[in-house]
Chains A and B, each alone.
Chain A
Amino acid sequence: MRKLVLQGCSQYTHTGISYFLSMCRSLQHLDLQNTKFLNDQHFNTLCPFLGDLVSINVSNCDKLTSLAFFALLRNCPLLTEIRMESTKIGKGSITSADWVVYYQVKSLFLACNSRLKDEHMNIFSFMFPNMQLLDLSSCHFISCKGIGIVLKRCCKITHFNIAFHPEPKLIWTNFEASKLEVLNLSHTRVGDEELYMIPKSFPRLLHLNLEHCHDVTEKGVWLVVENCIHLREINLHCCYKVSADIVAKMILLRPSLRKIIAPPDFRARDYDKKLLYEQCLVC
């Protein structure tokens, strides 16, 4: 058996799954999302059986803390992808013995973890130097400082998500995440000031999501489109302060654009349709 998915299954207990995993040690993909009984203690006993694991999903297992996360890393030398959304990761002390560099970890999905703080970001940025994807959406207690640290140190990041970040000023300065391609800032309070920093910090940006960023105006968006010369996709859905005229101008200015989710008031004019919307999807 290589892959086992028991998402949201009921009735079985720790004893059952522990016995199964002890007998079947070649598992590469394990999905236990929504397994409510799973706690750190249980999880620690499971980890030694998971030596071949490549990816795991323990999202919504809301009793798991940092201890489970580190147990997983210690026991699974091949693990590249961890999904641990809506858990208690961040709770529990981290000892210096846990400070090990894990080169193989590439994707971390850590959305909705309200116990994650800047200190964790600091540690993670040392531990996962080869990280390519980091999802921190709805992690409300990580400040822009923590975000800055990760993006600065993990220079291989290509996908970054901080949607629903509540902080009013998300300012990052003085670094360049030269490989970042996909940035999700939707439902945050970013404004033009933050957008001014984007081309400098993320010169290779391909996709930018600004959905429901109510403080963004066309000035900031324009600057991004003007200076991110590789930009292919931009989402301006529900950006109320961005005027609809910008759509046509963006397509003219940035021929690499392939898809635009237009701001709220946008109506395609007939005479633009033929000229502009041949090369770029506007919806």
Chain B
Amino acid sequence: MAAVNLLSSKRKKMATREFDSLPDDCWEYVLLKLLNNENDGVDDSNHCLKTPSVVSKQLLSISNRFVYSFTLIYNPSSLTRIFQRFPNLTSLDLSGFQGVNLNTLFSQIPRSVSLNLTSLNISNHPTFPALGLQTILKKNKSILTSLICSHVGNLKYDDMTFITDSFPFLQDLDISFPKERRIGNYYNDSYNNALKVLLTQKLSKLCKVNLSGNIYVNDSLFFQLCMNCEFLQEVVMSKCPSITYAGIASAICQRLSLTSLSVANFEEPSERKNVTSCFIDSLASLTSLTCLDLSFSCITDSMLDSLAHLQFFL
């Protein structure tokens, strides 16, 4: 029995030696093939790295290089280990994170660690982690281009200024469904003005923006947004009670390169019925429009007709 064991362990050693003799870039190529082949399923690409990563230490470290995005649900120790393990991590999703406060989580990252984050999701948290983001900002070598803060509680004026001042190169911003506390009219006005000035003038690189569920988003803000953001392509504005179809119509004429527009679910029943032919005509002027969401609105046959006509002649 002992002899057999010895033999098999010898074989194992030989096998590992052969493994080791292959240089890293060969293995990288193999893994890349594997990823490309398996990546048509329902699940994400990190999934199929699991099996090769348990083969050897070398393969573990190589497969770690292929992890570009990571969803963290829980990690009471620290984020550091994740950044050390995956050197090419560019996208971090903390939308389902539970445990410590995000400010605490980010501040635990030691100075020596440098990050390469380009995309960050901090949705569904009770407060906006401005302090934590400051530490991220200091350590990040790359430029953050995508910030998703959907359903973030208590998104304040200061937070908006922080976003616009700290991440001027944002291409993708989601501030949908803020759970704000209403403190007087003055406060609302200043927030509204801030949104207009900051969002539209400072974030001029925006391509993709989600403003759903923001009561402050009105016609003039959207107009400014379309005017100033020359790269704007995708806009989602469902459940924005202060916006009108007429407003959208005049705004989108300023930015004809829009590819995706979602204006669903007006809460005001009167506005729901007000889908105007003027709005539909302006939609038709968007020559690159590939995605249109008009859920929960009143669309008549003649509107569909004119939309179809204009689509057809493009």
Contact = CB atoms under 8 A, between A and B. Distances in A.
A10 B305 CA distance: 15
B299 A19 contact: no
Given A6-B299, A132-B42, A283-B98, A20 B262 contact: no
B52 to A, nearest CB: 16
B291 A3 contact: yes
Given A2-B290, A23-B308, A259-B73, A13 B296 contact: no
A24 B296 contact: no
B311 A12 contact: no
A197 B295 CA distance: 44
B7 interface: no
B293 A5 contact: yes
A100 interface: no
Contacts of A6: 294-295, 299
B301 interface: yes
Contacts of B298: 9-11
Given A5-B264, A5-B295, A9-B294, A16 B289 contact: no
B74 interface: yes
Given A2-B290, A3-B290, A9 B308 contact: no
B292 A8 contact: no
B306 to A, nearest CB: 10
**Size class of the contact patch on chain A:** 35 or more
Interface in A227-283: 258-259, 277-278, 280-281, 283
A5 B262 contact: yes
A4 B289 CA distance: 10
B37 interface: no
Nearest to A8: B296
Interface of A: 1-13, 15-17, 19-20, 22-24, 29, 31, 106-107, 132-133, 158-159, 181, 258-259, 277-278, 280-281, 283
Given A20-B307, A24-B308, 19 more contacts: A1-B289, A1-B292, A2-B290, A4-B292, A6-B294, A7-B264, A9-B294, A12-B300, A15-B301, A16-B305, A19-B304, A19-B308, A20-B304, A20-B308, A31-B295, A132-B41, A258-B73, A258-B74, A281-B98
Interface of B: 41-43, 73-74, 76-77, 98-99, 260, 262, 264, 289-305, 307-309, 311-312
Name the 3 nearest CB pairs between A and B, nearest first. A16-B301, A281-B74, A7-B295
